[in-house]
Amino acid sequence: MNALELPQGLAPQACMPLLDYVTGPRAQFLTGQVLRLAVTLDDTENDSAME
């Protein structure tokens, strides 16, 4: 992976499933990618409820 773009306001905990994947053996052929994460309405509602 070459880059990971995170939207502003995204809670770091929301990235854990992705980071688990890209650091594991299943991602061995993931090369030359830019991963862009998006925040959905459900994500923002869950984050605000946790604060």
What is the tens place of the pLDDT at every residue in 14-31? 888 888 888 889 888 888
pTM: 0.54
What is the tens place of the pLDDT at every residue in 2-16? 777 888 888 878 888
The dihedral built from the CA positions of residue 36, 40, 43 and 48, taken in this order, carries a sign that is positive
Please give the DSSP secondary-structure letter assigned to residue 29: T
